[in-house]
Structure 1
Amino acid sequence: MTQDMDELLRVTALLRERALESYRRDLAEESRLQAEQARIDGLRQATFAESDSLDARRLLGADTLWQGWLAQRRGEINQGIAMARARQAHSAAAARLAFARDEAAKEVARREAAERRDARLAEDDIRLDALSRLATYDPDR
């Protein structure tokens, strides 16, 4: 039974680690998208800071196209962040479940070990009691 329990503990630990890795990947994806969004916001702010100058980009309309592209890309990033957060919620729930299963398996293993220890101690107690009776046995009585 202990070999089965050891295998169960290994499997639940592996499943927990996989679930946590999936959650970490989802967190990293959201962080990457937020960093890209911050970079785009920085580009937009820099463009607005230069708004008092009339340069060739503005005269050709490239600035409007650029702002349109930035707005479109920002929307795509926002959508990606929303999807990353949805995946993150799903992977967090899976990680919590895997963690709970792993903890439950560890608790079952601890209880089994305690039961085996208690049974071994009870057997030892019976043997010691029998030995003490033999040691105090007086055949002349």
Structure 2
Amino acid sequence: MDAANITLTDAPDAEALGAIRQGLDQFNLAACGVSDQRPLVLLVHDPVTQKVVGGLNGRTSRGMLFIDVFFLPASMRGHGLGSTLLRMAEEEGLRRGCRTGILYTNSFQAPEFYRKHGWREFGNFPSDPPGTSRIFFCKDLGN
């Protein structure tokens, strides 16, 4: 095999990302016979402008719910909306056959929110700025 050309970028195009995803999907299908990855997105719209101002972005795959990004503006926090979104994601994960949920947050973000909703910490790693950490959570969605 000829030497591969490697590009380092922080701005990949959709085609390049798609090639990586498609390659992994094909490998996984050949290895385990399952190809069921699907996005799971909950969009929160401003009640006046209808612009998307927050929400939850994740995916489901082979029995697992992954929550990647979860954000609500400060004005929408503390009224149960976040709990509703998290519950909706968990319920949709269950409908799609997921048994487990996985996510991470930062120590300055929302670890107590996830604990309150039954998520269990399974990893905690120092990150920047000093004194903060990334906290990894999982949840048995059957409970």
Comparing both structures, which one devotes a greater share of its residues to strand? 2
Higher relative contact order (CA 8 A, sep 6+): 1
| Larger Rg over CA atoms | 1
- TM-score w.r.t. length of structure 1: 0.23
* Structure with the larger helix share: 1
